[in-house]
Chain A
Amino acid sequence: MLSKEILKDVLSAAMSTGGDFAEVFVEDRFNNSIEMVQGKVEKSLSGRDFGIGIRIFSGFNSVYTYTCEKNRDHLIAVAKKAATALSGVPKNAAIDFTVSPRRNLHPIIKMPGGITKDQKVKLMRRGYEAAKTYDALIDQVVVNYLDYTQNVLIANTEGKFVEDQRTRTRYTVSSVAKRAEKLQSGNMGKGAGKGFELYDEIDVDWIGRESSRIAVTMLDAKASPSGKFPVVLDNKFGGVIFHEACGHGLEATSVAKGNSVFAGKLGEKIASDVVSAVDDGTVLNEWGSSDVDDEGTPTQRNILIENGILKGYMIDKLNARRMKMDITGSSRRQSYKFAPTSRMTNTYILNGTSKFDDMIASIEYGVYAKYLGGGSVNTATGEFNFAVQEGYLVENGKITEPIKGATLIGTGLEILKKIEMVSDNFDSGEGMCGSVSGSIPAGLGQPALKVSEITVGGREEA
């Protein structure tokens, strides 16, 4: 994407004011997306992102700049201009690149670029038909499809020269059920670090039906009770709780400066014995996987919590300096427009030994959250919130009626200790995660969990 000679010249220019490390990130990415509304293609969009990000460190200070221009003189000028923010004596940086061979851990079988738009539209129509015909109450169906291939090149003054290619695709269906004045939506989707072969492996009809089933089920749901109750968070998307409540607080972005409630707690017991969690960027073709992270470090499986003990954080190059700890291969960015920092890849709570049915049976009055929606966290205080997309009351050990409008709130430290049971039905899901280095694909997952009590915000008093 850029010659080694140009890269060396740009890196040298970046080091011209005393920086002690410089890095160039080149990105060339092709995007395709199609939207089908009520069975008709309404939008189809393709485009190419191209740009170069240059980062310079001097101790704990960092400077970042980017541009879409790839000619040598312009890049050198941009690097020099950024370097002026640092004031020091240039270090004689003789750069000798060692080209890292591609790991190719996540092979793509059917590159989306080789699939016609008509084939993609045909696939979308299947999900639409399944969703639309699920129930007479289904009023609206929107199907979205996207794929992209991102080519990156990362070179730095330590001699790193590594290229990676990430291909991802995602398929989502939203349904709206309607009866008289009442409207209710449902959503379901699947994404992976795969090519079009994903759709040979999954059933898009099921995605359509499931989306409509949620909308229809929730249409007549009564308002959620409010108060503190035991809650069962089901597998798969339930993982968003760990992502929000704990994952963000374990990123060096907030730990390095002591701004996280989990800072300084390595080796301490922060969760109940039944909790073990990992962040793993190597999971085969998963949504948050890649060969190398956006600093060119090979991805790896990082143990975060083992039997309730805090074992590790997610750490990028810059924060590794501050924390005096090793990098973990999980430095990520949305695009060349963002300096990379420690982020989650695929974050999982691991299987336990309890049974889902026993969890439900153990609750006299509580909430079963089948699908969770999004949420957010304040990493300094650990306070999190997330929405329940599909939830039910649990009464006398049985799942009874659907409830809507439930929001779960609490703090990460508190909820980790209140996880009483972890089941054996692990499954993974995916989402887009927004933070300092932009919006990135993040995998999540867990088996069903029983939490002894969570504050549930709803509209009705229990």
Chain B
Amino acid sequence: MNEQFIEALFAKGSTKGFDAQEIYYVNNKNTEISVYQGQIDKFNVSEDGGLSYRGMVDGKLGYSYTEIMDESSIEMLVNEAYANAKVIEIEDEVFLHDGSGEYAEVDNFNPELERVSIEKKIQFMLDLEQSILTDDPRVKTMSQNSYDEVESIRRIKNTNGLDVTDQVNYCLAYAVAIVEENEDKRTGLGYDISNSFSDLSIEKITREATGEALKMLGAKSIKSVKCPVVIKNETFAQLFSAYMGILNAERVQKNLSKLGDKLGEVIASSELTLYDDPHLKGALSSSSFDAEGVATMKKPVIEDGVLKTFFHNLKTASKAGVVSTGNASKGSYKGTVGIAPSNLVIKPGEKSLEEVVSTIDTGVYILELQGLHAGINTISGDFSLQCYGYMIENGALTKPVSQITVAGNFFEMLMDIECFANDFRFSILSSDYTGAASVKIKQLSISGE
């Protein structure tokens, strides 16, 4: 990051009349490799980044951003941010952090990752394809697949004394297997993630991608029924994280959360304990500081079913008369500062998945939920989602079921959690980086034929 650019920008900003200013700079290096039938199908090595600028004038914050950092962009950033600040009407007090506080040591950068040759990474994907195709004669093809490697540097600097930087990297490999038998096609996703290349396991990805798809062959719909349901670990993590807006203090303060007045009260079964842990080694959302540069901290959010805290940034914390929980967030340098969890960890139980399933006479085990962006209502808590999985009969998983939906209400479901299994796993598909174990819910509505 060019220091002269920042200096020139801040100088221009104070001439314009800003009392305080801040830049949020991101630089990403990306590698993506996909293969198809023994050849490289897609190869992408890129570097990109951008700079977000915000300035305070008359107690209002104006934002602008750019991806091109030349002379003309300084003019644009300052003028646009100023014009944006001038149309802001809310009276909320705004803050730029001064860099005070205890910053934890968080090391999620592995310099070895980039040193592994591109050839090895390509070979990994070719081997993965072979492994999937030869796993079972019913495997027809590997469709979407990718090796993704990301290295990201983030820096926040302002005129109040804050100047923090972090650097993270990770690699992710995933593949979708398509299997077919008697004209019935099924798909399965397998993935592995780490910041050490040698940790990625072809066997693990293969087993997951083909195993689930093969077991789904011949799946049929079932009659509508209300029954106990077990939701697979990462699938529950996805459903759970889709609702996390209800703990966002900004939404609470706007009366958009049903949990707004439930701090300190029981909102879930005593089996549910949820941590927000920004310092977790190897987790995707780990950092010592949040999007406002405030030091992050590990904290219980729900403990034995009791709601302990909402997620705060500086603005909502000041309004609520508490300190920031270090959950300021920015989707990218293009956005304004909002609020989000870091790594969400739902505490697992002690029983194995088999033991949990064995407690159910008739029920459904849900492998995957679809349409999470559309089929849930975060305000009322209602959800109705397409899903598939297996029947549970006499305490064991039996035939595959598909073309069914599962419906319920998130708030009621939290109360209906009977237990978690011990198969904790993070999901790469959840909206925040969330991990959970498979969970047994007392009752949900399954709709089919």
Q: Please list the residues of chain A having a beta carbon within 8 angstroms of any beta carbon in chain B.
A: 31, 34, 36-38, 40-51, 60-68, 70, 81-82, 85, 117-118, 121, 139-140, 176, 178, 181-185, 224, 226-228, 254, 257-259, 261, 337, 339, 373-376, 378, 380-381, 383-387, 404-407, 409-411, 436, 455-461
Chain B residues positioned under 8 Å from A378 (CB to CB):
187, 370
Check B373 against A376 for contact (C-beta < 8 Å). yes
Check B64 against A376 for contact (C-beta < 8 Å). no
**Nearest CB in chain B: distance from A439 CB, A:** 11
Name the CB-closest residue of B to A34. Answer: B87
B254 within 8 A of A: yes
Most chain A CB atoms below 10 A, which of B86, B141, B258, B407:
B407
Q: How far is the CA of A456 from the CA of B334 in the complex (A)?
A: 39
The listed residue (A42, A226, A405) touching B90 by CB distance below 8 A is A42
**Nearest CB in chain A: distance from B225 CB, A:** 9
B200 within 8 A of A: no
Check A176 against B386 for contact (C-beta < 8 Å). no
Check B380 against A375 for contact (C-beta < 8 Å). no
Chain B residues positioned under 8 Å from A228 (CB to CB):
449
The main secondary structure of chain A at its interface with chain B is: strand
Check B67 against A49 for contact (C-beta < 8 Å). yes
**Nearest CB in chain B: distance from A338 CB, A:** 9
Identify which of residues 195-221 in chain B touch chain A, using a CB-to-CB cut-off of 8 Å.
221
Identify which of residues 392-406 in chain B touch chain A, using a CB-to-CB cut-off of 8 Å.
402-406
The listed residue (A38, A44, A51, A374) touching B371 by CB distance below 8 A is A374
Q: Please list the residues of chain B having a beta carbon within 8 angstroms of any beta carbon in chain A.
A: 36, 39-50, 52, 62-68, 73, 76, 80-81, 83-90, 118, 141, 143-144, 176, 178, 185-187, 221, 224, 226, 254-256, 258, 334-336, 370-371, 373-375, 377, 379-380, 382-386, 402-408, 445, 447-449
Most chain A CB atoms below 10 A, which of B44, B50, B80, B143:
B44
Check A227 against B447 for contact (C-beta < 8 Å). yes
Chain B residues positioned under 8 Å from A406 (CB to CB):
384
Further 19 A-B residue pairs, CB within 8 A, beyond A65-B45, A459-B445: A42-B89, A44-B88, A48-B73, A49-B67, A50-B68, A63-B40, A66-B46, A67-B48, A68-B67, A85-B45, A181-B258, A226-B405, A227-B224, A381-B186, A386-B374, A405-B384, A409-B386, A457-B404, A458-B407
**Nearest CB in chain B: distance from A462 CB, A:** 8
**Nearest CB in chain A: distance from B256 CB, A:** 6
Check A224 against B384 for contact (C-beta < 8 Å). yes
Check B68 against A410 for contact (C-beta < 8 Å). no
Check B141 against A258 for contact (C-beta < 8 Å). yes
Q: How far is the CA of A457 from the CA of B48 in the complex (A)?
A: 43
Check B448 against A387 for contact (C-beta < 8 Å). no
Name the CB-closest residue of B to A227. Answer: B224
Task: Given A380-B178, A387-B371, A455-B403, verify A461-B224 contact (CB < 8 Å).
Answer: yes
Check B385 against A61 for contact (C-beta < 8 Å). no
Name the CB-closest residue of A to B337. Answer: A43
Chain A residues positioned under 8 Å from B178 (CB to CB):
259, 380
Offer 14 A-B interface pairs, CB within 8 angstroms, sorted by A.
Answer: A42-B89, A43-B88, A45-B63, A63-B44, A82-B45, A140-B256, A185-B377, A337-B48, A373-B374, A374-B374, A384-B386, A385-B386, A458-B447, A459-B408
Q: How far is the CA of A282 from the CA of B37 in the complex (A)?
A: 36
Check B88 against A407 for contact (C-beta < 8 Å). no
**Nearest CB in chain A: distance from B60 CB, A:** 10
Chain B residues positioned under 8 Å from A227 (CB to CB):
224, 447, 449
Check B405 against A64 for contact (C-beta < 8 Å). no
The listed residue (A117, A185, A254, A384) touching B83 by CB distance below 8 A is A117
Name the CB-closest residue of A to B372. Answer: A376
Name the CB-closest residue of A to B224. Answer: A226
Q: How far is the CA of A228 from the CA of B447 in the complex (A)?
A: 9
Q: How far is the CA of A117 from the CA of B178 in the complex (A)?
A: 51
Task: Given A45-B63, A405-B384, verify A375-B447 contact (CB < 8 Å).
Answer: no
Task: Given A68-B49, A374-B373, A457-B384, verify A44-B63 contact (CB < 8 Å).
Answer: yes
Check A385 against B371 for contact (C-beta < 8 Å). yes
The listed residue (B36, B49, B385) touching A407 by CB distance below 8 A is B385
Check A82 against B403 for contact (C-beta < 8 Å). no
Task: Given A63-B44, A337-B48, A406-B384, verify A41-B90 contact (CB < 8 Å).
Answer: yes
Name the CB-closest residue of B to A120. Answer: B87
Check A183 against B90 for contact (C-beta < 8 Å). no
Check B62 against A409 for contact (C-beta < 8 Å). no
Most chain A CB atoms below 10 A, which of B46, B48, B373:
B46
Name the CB-closest residue of A to B42. Answer: A62
Check A60 against B447 for contact (C-beta < 8 Å). no
Check A64 against B407 for contact (C-beta < 8 Å). no
Check A375 against B67 for contact (C-beta < 8 Å). no
Give 5 nearest A-B pairs by CB, closest first.
A457-B405, A226-B447, A374-B374, A385-B386, A47-B65
Q: How far is the CA of A45 from the CA of B89 in the complex (A)?
A: 14
**Nearest CB in chain B: distance from A131 CB, A:** 15
Check A381 against B43 for contact (C-beta < 8 Å). no
The listed residue (A34, A50, A184) touching B379 by CB distance below 8 A is A184
Q: How far is the CA of A288 from the CA of B145 in the complex (A)?
A: 28
Chain B residues positioned under 8 Å from A46 (CB to CB):
63-65, 80-81, 83-84
The listed residue (B48, B383, B405) touching A409 by CB distance below 8 A is B405
The listed residue (A121, A404, A460) touching B382 by CB distance below 8 A is A404
Check A337 against B46 for contact (C-beta < 8 Å). yes
Q: How far is the CA of A182 from the CA of B118 in the complex (A)?
A: 55
Q: How far is the CA of A181 from the CA of B370 in the complex (A)?
A: 28
**Nearest CB in chain B: distance from A214 CB, A:** 13
Chain A residues positioned under 8 Å from B66 (CB to CB):
47-48, 50
The listed residue (B81, B85, B143, B449) touching A455 by CB distance below 8 A is B449
Chain B residues positioned under 8 Å from A456 (CB to CB):
447
Q: How far is the CA of A121 from the CA of B84 in the complex (A)?
A: 11
Q: How far is the CA of A458 from the CA of B445 in the complex (A)?
A: 8
**Nearest CB in chain B: distance from A440 CB, A:** 16
The listed residue (A81, A184, A436) touching B45 by CB distance below 8 A is A81
Check B407 against A455 for contact (C-beta < 8 Å). no
Chain B residues positioned under 8 Å from A48 (CB to CB):
65-68, 73, 76
Chain B residues positioned under 8 Å from A47 (CB to CB):
52, 64-66, 80, 334
Name the CB-closest residue of B to A177. Answer: B379
Name the CB-closest residue of B to A411. Answer: B403
Q: How far is the CA of A70 from the CA of B70 in the complex (A)?
A: 11
Name the CB-closest residue of A to B50. Answer: A68
**Nearest CB in chain A: distance from B253 CB, A:** 11
Task: Given A62-B41, A257-B141, A376-B374, verify A387-B256 contact (CB < 8 Å).
Answer: no
Name the CB-closest residue of B to A404. Answer: B382
Name the CB-closest residue of B to A59. Answer: B39
**Nearest CB in chain B: distance from A201 CB, A:** 24
Task: Given A51-B48, A456-B447, A459-B384, verify A385-B370 contact (CB < 8 Å).
Answer: yes
Check A184 against B380 for contact (C-beta < 8 Å). yes
**Nearest CB in chain B: distance from A164 CB, A:** 19
Task: Given A50-B68, A117-B83, A227-B224, verify A259-B384 contact (CB < 8 Å).
Answer: no
Task: Given A48-B67, A176-B379, A407-B386, verify A118-B374 contact (CB < 8 Å).
Answer: no
Task: Given A182-B380, A380-B143, verify A63-B43 contact (CB < 8 Å).
Answer: yes
Q: How far is the CA of A64 from the CA of B377 in the complex (A)?
A: 38
Name the CB-closest residue of B to A64. Answer: B44
